[in-house]
Amino acid sequence: MLGLVGVTLGTAVGVLPGIGPALTISLLLPLTFGMDPVGAFILFGGIYYGAMYGGSTTSILVRMPGEASSVMTALDGYEMTRQGRAGAALATAAIGSFVAGTFATVMLMLTAPALVELALGFGPTEYFAIMMLALTALGGMTGGAPAKGAFATFLGLAIGTIGIDLQTGQARFTFGVPGLLGGLNVVVVTVGLFAVGEVFWHAATHRVSRETPAPLGGPVRLTGDDWRRSVPAWCRGTLLGFFTGVLPGAGATVASFLAYAAERRVSKTPAAFGHGAIEGVAGPEAANNASAGGSLVPLLALGIPGSGTTAVMLAAFQMYGLQPGPLLFSQESGLIWGLIASLYVSNVLLLVLNLPLIRVWVLLLHVPRSLLFAAVLVFATLGVYSLNNNLFDVAIVYVLGVMAFFMRRHEVPLAPTVLGVVLGPLLEQHFRRALAISGGDPSVFLTRPVSAAILALTAVVVIVPLLVRARAARGTPRSPRESA
């Protein structure tokens, strides 16, 4: 039931441009406070998968991608619509998403326990190393200038240091304000950066004109030729998407770009791409759904998010006093398996719900954007207010919203900041715990093999993009903005 609500809501936010899964889940966090955690996560899982699918509908019909991850779908999807093949494009996106989502969930089920097995032997040293990897990977891969990604990450870490130091009881950066002693609530930070900042940004940049949805031509089904061309594209997209999703920092946008590039490379008729090639829809749509499943693997097995949306989900776990990771798998296995089961159900629901309901989703585009964004501000305010029943948190949301506006203005990515806020305190604790165990000897990070290997990988993640950039200093195409 909650899965149904989640999928419906997820598809709706996927269809609506500017409102992504990270924003929706952060708005819902305060509302689910009184709910049972299993229900809340079933809801969030449905939203995540639904949003990945919903973005395709608007890309195909109006060439207006709801999410960064469906930008590639718009290229060939909209062309197909203009040729009167919108039905086939929507069908290949829906079935591809289903295939990819199901496969990714199976893989999640198979790989997560194995990873847990490995992670049980991890100490603070290893966790510190993995968190360093997640932070550097997301900071470096969000596109745009690497300096800005780095600054965004440090900014998040800096926000994370506000409050009482857990090990010594020393107050840091509180300026004598009692409301800051407990640190900034992660919910407050995500709502401020994603929701309020987004509305301000919308106010400053929205265009008054609106594209009208193209009429939905043709039946919603695939011909034999479509199937023959779609199936291999789904499979490639799924595999590529899942593994891209598991890597911290890469995420759905990168996955869909890689899938599109791969389809064009293996195609016998690369010239057809951009002119309505069905593989150009099937591959990227499978890839972005598969990457959503893939990104849940490190979140559930290690407790380490690799993207904006999973960072918000980690915040949700923390809100319930749960720390995802190897222990959660053994202690709260009901929760984990409930979540995984709900992902299967969500997938089936997506397929059943969406093929007949495509016309309804298109109607959503007629909801006036102005009222929608005004309502987002109200939800943000009330949700945050109800956390602690005080307006102080709302004031912080306001400040962060203004900050997010200027970050958007200067093309500084937001996702690394949220990840920094979530991981910063954990990073510091693990670091200090590791040193306390080793008696203050910092070489412990390099002498334990797993931690040394991960830190070496982190160094590679930092250095390689810099070298690539230095070599191709001129004429580099700009990457799209951060993925959700």
Partner 1 sequence: MPPDRRLAVGLIAGSAAYLFGAFQIGAPEGQYAAVGPRLFPLVIGLGLLTSAVWIGVAATAEVRRSPVRWGAAASSALAFLAYIAALDVVGYLPATAAFLVLESRLLGSRVWVRDVIVSIAITVSVYGVFRLLLGLRLPAGLLG
Site residues, partner 1 (CB under 8 A): 31, 34, 145, 147-148, 150-151, 153-155, 157-158, 161, 165, 167-170, 172-173, 196, 199-206, 208, 368-371, 373-375, 377-379, 381-382, 385-386, 389, 391, 394-395, 398, 401-402, 405, 409-410, 424, 428, 431-432, 435-436, 438-440
* Cα–Cα distance for residue pair 127/114, rounded to 1 Å: 17
Q: How far is the CB of 409 from partner 1 (least distance, A)?
A: 6
Cα-based distances in Å from 204 to 198, 267, 406, 445: 10, 42, 11, 47
Q: Give the residue among 407, 474, 389 at the shortest CA–CA distance from 197.
A: 407
Q: How far is the CB of 298 from partner 1 (least distance, A)?
A: 23
Nearer to partner 1, 165 or 341 (CB): 165
Q: How far is the CB of 475 from partner 1 (least distance, A)?
A: 12
26: three-class secondary structure by DSSP: helix
Q: How far is the CB of 431 from partner 1 (least distance, A)?
A: 7
Nearer to partner 1, 80 or 155 (CB): 155
CB atoms within 10 A of CB 230: 26
* Contact call for residues 134 and 394 (beta carbons, < 8 A): no
Q: How far is the CB of 435 from partner 1 (least distance, A)?
A: 4
* Rounded (10°) angle between helices 2-15 and 21-28: 130
Nearer to partner 1, 81 or 417 (CB): 417
Per-residue tokens: 317 = 């776990």
Q: How far is the CB of 389 from partner 1 (least distance, A)?
A: 5
Cα-based distances in Å from 62 to 50, 66, 218, 222: 19, 10, 16, 21
Per-residue tokens: 348 = 């089936």
Q: How far is the CB of 443 from partner 1 (least distance, A)?
A: 13
Nearer to partner 1, 107 or 159 (CB): 159
* Cα–Cα distance for residue pair 94/290, rounded to 1 Å: 13
Nearer to partner 1, 275 or 432 (CB): 432
Q: Which residue has the tokens 């959660």?
A: 328
Nearer to partner 1, 268 or 366 (CB): 366
* Cα–Cα distance for residue pair 107/46, rounded to 1 Å: 17
Nearer to partner 1, 169 or 356 (CB): 169
Q: How far is the CB of 437 from partner 1 (least distance, A)?
A: 9
* Cα–Cα distance for residue pair 469/404, rounded to 1 Å: 27
Beta bridge partners of 171: 164
* Contact call for residues 96 and 234 (beta carbons, < 8 A): yes
